[in-house]
Structures are given as C-alpha cells and as structure tokens.
C-alpha cells in the first residue's frame, strides 16, 4: 500500500536511502496516512483523496462530494439488502425443494417507449378471456401499421389495465387490453391508431416463458410468488413482450414483465 501511494505520489517517504532505495517514513507522516485512510474508508477514490488533501476542493465542493457519496451508499445499501433477501430465498428453496429454480426471474429497468396501439376489453385476465380478444386486436394493429406505412422498431407488447372507469358501471371490472408496438420516437398521432408513451419502469420483475399463451397462467403465478418471496410488491400494469412468435404456438417465447416496488 505504501509502495503504491509512493508510486502515485500520494504519500512520499520522508527519506529514501540512495544506495538501498529503502523507504523511510517519519512519525509525523502517520497523521497524513491516517487522513488518507479515513477518507478512503468513506469510499472515496485515491484521486479524490488527493484533491481533498491538497485542498483543491472548496468546502462547497466537499459538501457536494459527501452528499453524492451519501446517496451512492444509500443506493448500494438498498441493492445489497435486496440481494441478501434473494440469497436467503434461494437457500429456503433449496431446503424445501432440494433444488434451485431454473426459471430465473430477473429484475430490470424498462425504457420509456413510444408505441402505436389499439385497445379492447375482456372480462378477466385468464387466457380464455384474453385470447379471443387479443388475437384479432394484434391482427388489426399489424394491418393498420401496414396501411399507414409505419415501421415497427421493436416487438409487440401487450399490457393490461384494470378499468377504473365509473362512467360505465357494467364494465367497471373489465380489463382493458392494449396491443402495442414500438415506433420511432418522433411518430405523431395518426387516424385510427393511438400513439402513446409507455412509461419508464424503474424496476420490473421479468421471466421468460416458452410455450403457448394458453398455458401462461402458472408462469404468471410463479412470478407473483417470486415477487412476494423476495420482498417486493406489484406496482403497475403487467406486460407481455412477444419475443418470438412462430407458427407453432408451443414455440412462442414471451417475456412476462411486472413492475415492482420494495414492499
């Protein structure tokens, strides 16, 4: 460590023997070393430590650095706490099931995206109710895009909202189904297609599902259990990203996405 600080000029020995190149330090340098170590222990890098020691930073800048560090530490702390919960959950799974899950849930950020979409409603979130509605919806969406000459920039996404519309009491517990396809950011409203922005989602629990959408429900339920077991809760409408949709429905690859927030 002292060799390194000598090499980068952070703490030079008080004396270096010319023939043996031995480094000699004075007791007074111990205080200086302590300042370095104390600042380093706060999590500052050596270059930052150097600026602070050389008094190249004003009190205001110093306060800024400390405030930033505080925010970084708070973020790291939250991440590590979440990691710890996940590790513990895996240990529990090993104890109870004798194996580790291979259907991996990944927490990720979802980018904001401008989409062209069509909507319809269904009675519930079960595949029996969704399927007959979403299939023609997607077909119509694809046709409209073709007619209007709009080029999709990504994969089809479906998302589902609980209608909170009191104007039509009969429909108040129906689900609104959105079939959405990402388009170029500059795309403007056009006749017969809604252009909306899917909001950015800070954290979403995601899982890849492979198979027919008729049998997706257990995977959605597994995702819900994961969210609960790992200290999160649902936070917003769920999405299905159709990654690959070949002829054979059993070969479909879908990413299920559920926005979450720490419970």
Partner DNA sequence: TTGCTCCTCACGTCACGTGAGGTGGC
202, 153 contact by CB (below 8 A): no
Instruction: Go through the chain and tell me how many residues it has.
Output: 263
What's the min distance (Å) between Cβ of 58 and DNA? 21
Which of 26, 38, 47, 72: binder of DNA (CB under 7 A)? 47
Is 233 a binding residue for DNA by CB under 7 A? The answer is no
Is 109 a binding residue for DNA by CB under 7 A? The answer is no
CA distance to 5, 13, 109, 239, per residue, from 258 (Å):
48, 57, 11, 6
Is 54 a binding residue for DNA by CB under 7 A? The answer is no
Which of 9, 19, 54, 166: binder of DNA (CB under 7 A)? 19
Which of 12, 23, 114, 140: binder of DNA (CB under 7 A)? 23
20 binds, among DNA, a second copy, none (CB under 5 to 8 A by kind): DNA
**From CA 121, how far away is CA 110, in angstroms rounded?**
25
Per-residue x/- track, 110-149, DNA (CB under 7 A): ----------------------------------------
**From CA 233, how far away is CA 139, in angstroms rounded?**
33
Alpha-helical regions (H) of 28-58: 28-41, 46-53
76, 141 contact by CB (below 8 A): no
What's the min distance (Å) between Cβ of 215 and DNA? 32
The dihedral sign for the CA sequence 92, 95, 97, 99: positive
98 torsion bin: left (phi>0), alpha (psi -120 to 50), beta (else):
left
Interaction site with a second copy (CB under 8 A): 27-28, 30-31, 34-35, 37-39, 41-43, 59, 62-63, 66-67, 69-70, 73-74, 76-77, 80-81, 83-84, 86-88, 90-91, 94, 98-100, 102-107, 206-208, 210, 243-244, 253, 255
Which is closer to a second copy, CB of 65 or CB of 125? Answer: 65
**From CA 75, how far away is CA 203, in angstroms rounded?**
14
Is 46 a binding residue for DNA by CB under 7 A? The answer is yes
Residues that bind DNA (CB under 7 A): 1, 3-5, 19-23, 40, 45-47
């Amino acid at each position: 460590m002292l060799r390194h600080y000598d090499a980068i000029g952070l703490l030079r020995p008080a004396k270096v023997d010319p023939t043996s190149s031995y480094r000699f330090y004075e007791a007074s340098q111990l205080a200086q070393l302590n300042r370095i170590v104390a600042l380093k222990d706060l999590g500052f890098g050596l270059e930052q430590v150097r600026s602070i020691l050389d008094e190249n930073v004003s009190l205001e800048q110093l306060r800024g650095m400390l405030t930033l560090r505080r925010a970084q530490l708070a973020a790291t702390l939250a991440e590590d706490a979440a990691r710890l919960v996940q590790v513990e959950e895996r240990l529990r799974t090993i104890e109870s099931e004798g194996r580790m899950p291979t259907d991996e849930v990944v927490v990720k950020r979802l980018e904001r995206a401008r989409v062209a979409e069509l909507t319809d409603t269904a009675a519930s979130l079960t595949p029996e109710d969704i399927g007959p509605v979403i299939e023609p919806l997607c077909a119509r969406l694809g046709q409209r895009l073709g007619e209007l000459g709009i080029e999709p920039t990504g994969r089809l996404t479906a998302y589902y909202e609980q209608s909170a519309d009191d104007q039509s009491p009969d429909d108040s517990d129906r689900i609104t189904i959105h079939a959405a396809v990402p388009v170029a950011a500059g795309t403007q409203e056009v006749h017969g297609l809604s252009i909306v922005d899917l909001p950015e989602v800070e954290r979403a629990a995601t899982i890849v599902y492979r198979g027919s959408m008729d049998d997706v429900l257990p995977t959605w339920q597994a995702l819900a259990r994961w969210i609960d077991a790992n200290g999160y809760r649902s936070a917003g409408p769920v999405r299905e990203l159709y990654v690959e949709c070949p002829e054979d429905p059993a070969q479909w690859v879908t990413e299920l996405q559920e926005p979450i927030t720490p419970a």
